[in-house]
Amino acid sequence: MGHHGGRAPILTGAAAFDRSRLVDRPEAVAPLLLGCTITVGATSGRIVEVEAYAGIDDPASHAHRGPTPRSAIMFGEVGRLYVYRSYGVHWCANVVAHQEGEPGAVLLRAVEPLAGLDLMRLRRGPAVRRDRDLGSGPGRLTQALGIEGRHDGVDLLAPGSPVTLADRSAADAPIAVASTRIGISRATDLPWRFSIAGSPCRSR
């Protein structure tokens, strides 16, 4: 069932995500990423949960106080991967998305494992007994897919990129559920977390 080597298979109907669709406010882009596929080497997952983070008007965002060495990528080209370490422990992966002249990114919170499950299980360890839990959370997602700090800044939409984002087919448009973001202490009322209704792979 899992794939042991090589690149993950190209899924029927999958195509690179259109970069122009990422030029919008992050909370508008976020639900568009649901159902899309992120691939890293032999592993891939279907995105089932995301969170949007904007700029100066979003106190929970890394871009709230302007660009820093860490957050500068949020002000740059859309379609890049923004990777940072959370609390010095877990890597978190984000898709840079924003309007012209504004920063922003969408945090990838959970994926449904699609390919390379054997490798995902190995990376996550024997304590994870259910495949649906392999990528059910930002830190779990990056660990399962093998996303690390070295991937910060890679172009998700470039052919041959070490991490790629493929669009879903029109027939696979999921039902999105909006809710408030998790694990933050500011702007907790914004309904900028989006997930696929009924997915067992969501973080919670």
Contact 74, 62 (CB under 8 A): yes
Which residues are within 8 A (CB) of 48 and not within 5 positions of it... i.e. 6 or more apart? 34, 35, 110, 111, 112, 195, 196, 199, 201, 202
Contact 174, 108 (CB under 8 A): no
Strands 15-16, 37-40: pairing kind: unpaired
Whether 74 is covered by a domain: the verdict is yes
CA 166/CA 10 separation, integer angstroms: 9
CA 112/CA 106 separation, integer angstroms: 17
| Of 38-47, 52-61, 99-108, 118-127, minimum mean pLDDT range | 52-61
| Domain limits for position 41 | 15-196
Tell me the percentage of the chain whose pLDDT exceeds 70: 93
The whole-number pLDDT of residue 170 equals 77
List, for residues 173-193, the tens digit of each pLDDT value.
899 999 998 888 888 888 999
DSSP, residue by residue, 117-180: HHHHHHHH-TT---GGGTTBSHHHHHHHHT--GGGTT-BTTSTT-SEEEEEPPGGGPPPEEEE-
List, for residues 144-154, the tens digit of each pLDDT value.
999 999 999 99
Question: Considering the entire predicted model, what is its pTM?
Answer: 0.90
Q: How confident is the model at residue 172 (pLDDT cuts 50, 70, 90)?
A: confident
User: 3-class DSSP state for residue 45?
Assistant: strand
> CATH number of the domain that 19 lies in?
3.10.300.10
Whether 4 is covered by a domain: the verdict is no
Whether 94 is covered by a domain: the verdict is yes
User: Is 70 exceeded by the pLDDT of residue 8?
Assistant: no
The whole-number pLDDT of residue 15 equals 86
Whether 202 is covered by a domain: the verdict is no
Whether 28 is covered by a domain: the verdict is yes
List, in sequence order, every residue forming a beta bridge with 95; answer none if it has no partner.
81, 106
Whether 116 is covered by a domain: the verdict is yes
Whether 9 is covered by a domain: the verdict is no
Which residues are within 8 A (CB) of 112 and not within 5 positions of it... i.e. 6 or more apart? 45, 46, 48, 132, 135, 199, 201
Whether 7 is covered by a domain: the verdict is no
Domain count, the chain: 1
